[in-house]
Chains A and B, each alone.
Chain A
Amino acid sequence: MSAEGPLGGSGIDTDVRPLTPVLTKRWLSPRSWTIQTYEQLEGYTALRKALRAHPDQLIQLCKDSGLRGRGGAGFPTGMKWGFIPQGDGKPHYLVINADEGEPGTCKDIPLMMADPHSLVEGVVITSYAIRANFAAIYVRGEALHCVRRMQAAVNEAYAAGYLGKNILGSGFDLDVVVHAGAGAYICGEETALLDSLEGLRGQPRLKPPFPATSGLYEAPTVVNNVETIASVPFIVNGGADWFRTMGSERSPGPKIFSLSGHVTNPGQYEAPMGSTLRELLELAGGMKDGIPLKFWTPGGSSTPLFTAEHLDVPLDFEGAAEAGSMLGTTALQLFNETVSVPWAVMKWTEFYKHESCGKCTPCREGTYWLAQILQRMVRGEGTPQDIDTLLDICDNVLGRSFCALGDGAVSPITSGIKYFKDEFLALCRENTGRSNSGESTVDDSGKHVLAGAH
């Protein structure tokens, strides 16, 4: 693979390898989670450099690097930091979204277990850049071992003078709290996370105002993903041009791709943005037992499905979008030909139904009915009309929900029907053949019976 970076003539070696361990490079080291190991491997050198710079220089560096949020949406990180009003006399906050729960996503938990100090160092640098003196790391409650590793790392950082008052003699103060969630997928949505961190039900807020002006405790707040902030120390040490040697012009940098499912060697593979599933699959030993790939998610269940036709789609923000999906969290869930698409879609829909926070009607009601229609279809009691009903409901949920959970919920359904409509129809034919209940959506009075209403 050759880099298409903009750096010809910069003197930086642009012969980029298929795997580019940056965030994952310390993971093989013994006791990689301790401060001793971290400091032996350049740990906290970026912080020393950063504290000698002006905070605005760090924001500019982050903008120059092109770093984009690794939590799914891909928002430019430096721009987000730049939105924080400075000199406003209000406290500023940094909140780390470590509430990993998007189905298929399993990158932040291994990162926090293996290299928690990279996140802590990124937190200190970012807080300095945005002038925050309090940061919270909101860790998914079920990820207890990460809570331990993060807490131990924070304790070690305090003891070493990387946190607390007058950090390394810079005059900068920062306190960090490791906060365990309590089991709610919706808290991965940044404003729901903020409400949850304030001790409320985790329900999304109406935007605007955005967290940059009114976030935690109504104060300017940056909310960033674990992988995003763990990238920051490397950008400080390597510079924007170095970061851009990996990945593509608009989606630079390395990325942790998580391969799971029917693959020979599932796991974490850190490769340049824009790598393809074909390349990653080769590194992962191909499909398990040689059974061909049927469908996959590029970035969690909220990103529309891809099929074997998409093996060569460049997995960066632009490439995934141009091919009709989204990069999301680069959670590549691979399913082989033994898996029924309507069944998989039903299972995901049950998940969204369970995790819908209930605040807005399209998502709360939509996911409820979508799940029941799909359950009925999978039982073999569906009709072709159900497919139209599903799409109609999806149309009423997509873009009409309060937050992105509703949009995510319809992704597996609409993309599943788009690529595998025959499978949905086959389930209906089975029904017609068995019980001749093609009319089962019409009751005795001729009235349309709602899905699930039996």
Chain B
Amino acid sequence: MTTSESMAARESGTDGDEVFGSDIADRARALMARYPRSRSALLPMLHLVQSVEGYVSQRGIAFCADQLGLATAEVSAVATFYTMYKRRPCGEHLVSVCTNTLCAALGGDDIYARLGEHLGSEGRPLGHEETSGVPGKRGSITLEHAECLAACDFGPVLQVNYEYYDNQTPDSALQLVKSLQAGEKPPPTRGAPLTDFRTVERQLAGFFEGQGGSLEDTVNGPSASAETVRGAKIAEERSWTAPPMPDSVEFPPLADKK
């Protein structure tokens, strides 16, 4: 079976016995080789596991434990500590709305409420880390409220699969989510062309080849919005620079050894 066939088999869920095939095991071993001690590979390995199943399953925990020679309890203890490891299958897309103070004051709470209402059913809004649609299927969406996403100058912000959608409003966010549900992939303000949750989890594990483009393809997605370069721009316009560096600089002398 080729890699793409095995990926397809996994995605369709028809290959239960080989959810984590030899290609995934190879990647796990490659992760372990990156560090002086193999256990350091656990966090990326859990991202890798999520890239296969869309969440960290018991099977995924056992896989990591097996690779690293740990007890499953040790892996579970780690997996349950971190927000990004999901314990239930996620949608095609993960939508994370910042509701920390600053974004909330600028409209983040309203955005989260609007999306929850839209994605909910039977009069009940979709809750935190709940999924609308069949997890993994096209147009399915997991919603979460996020802590500060470190994009405060772009507030209110949200992320889809950890790509930034800056300066949102309840209306723009609703439109974005409707597009996602319809199978469209509107480009982020900052980040790579939108793919899906599983693809970015593979990238977080450090593997950039494959679906979603190479590292070279993804790395050139936009980044520097007006806010980022605001100070640099003003300085350029006004010809302000830092004081010039001297032509030559000597290193300080070595102190005498005691």
Asked if A pairs with B, the answer is yes
Check A54–B254 contact: CB distance below 8 A: yes
Within 8 A of B (CB), among A38-68: 53-54, 56-58, 60-61, 64
The interface stretch among B16-24, B130-138, B149-157 is: B149-157
Nearest CB of chain A from residue B162's CB, rounded to whole Å:
4
The interface residues of chain A lying within 8 Å CB-to-CB of B153 are 106, 258-260, 266-268
Band of interface residues on A: 35 or more
Check A180–B44 contact: CB distance below 8 A: yes
The interface stretch among B7-15, B119-127, B169-177, B239-247 is: B239-247
The interface stretch among A135-143, A162-170, A432-440 is: A135-143
Q: Which 9 A-B pairs have the closest CB atoms?
A: A267-B230, A183-B83, A199-B42, A269-B231, A239-B249, A260-B152, A183-B84, A182-B82, A267-B227
Check B243–A61 contact: CB distance below 8 A: no
The interface stretch among A146-154, A307-315, A317-325, A389-397 is: A146-154
Check B101–A28 contact: CB distance below 8 A: no
Q: Does B71 contact A (CB under 8 A)?
A: no
Chain B, residue nearest A258 (CB): B153
Check A103–B102 contact: CB distance below 8 A: yes
Check B251–A58 contact: CB distance below 8 A: yes
Q: Does A238 contact B (CB under 8 A)?
A: yes
Nearest CB of chain A from residue B36's CB, rounded to whole Å:
6
Q: Does A274 contact B (CB under 8 A)?
A: no
Check A16–B147 contact: CB distance below 8 A: no
Docked Cα-Cα span, A143 to B231, in Å, equals 22
Q: List 9 A-B contacts (CB under 8 A).
A: A27-B228, A28-B229, A103-B101, A144-B203, A177-B35, A180-B204, A182-B43, A261-B152, A266-B152
Check A64–B148 contact: CB distance below 8 A: no
Within 8 A of B (CB), among A287-329: 301
Chain B, residue nearest A335 (CB): B105
Check B223–A113 contact: CB distance below 8 A: yes
Check A110–B228 contact: CB distance below 8 A: yes
Docked Cα-Cα span, A54 to B252, in Å, equals 10
The interface residues of chain B lying within 8 Å CB-to-CB of A259 are 153
Nearest CB of chain B from residue A75's CB, rounded to whole Å:
20
Docked Cα-Cα span, A240 to B153, in Å, equals 32
Besides the known contacts A3-B243, A56-B254, 15 further A-B residue pairs in the complex with CB atoms under 8 A apart: A11-B246, A19-B234, A21-B231, A100-B150, A103-B147, A103-B152, A105-B148, A114-B223, A142-B159, A144-B162, A261-B102, A268-B231, A270-B235, A347-B99, A351-B100
Q: Does A198 contact B (CB under 8 A)?
A: yes
Provide the B22-60 mask, 1 if CB < 8 A to any CB of A, else 0: 000000000000111101111110110000000000000
The interface residues of chain A lying within 8 Å CB-to-CB of B105 are 261-262, 335, 339, 344
Q: Does A91 contact B (CB under 8 A)?
A: yes
Q: Does B182 contact A (CB under 8 A)?
A: no
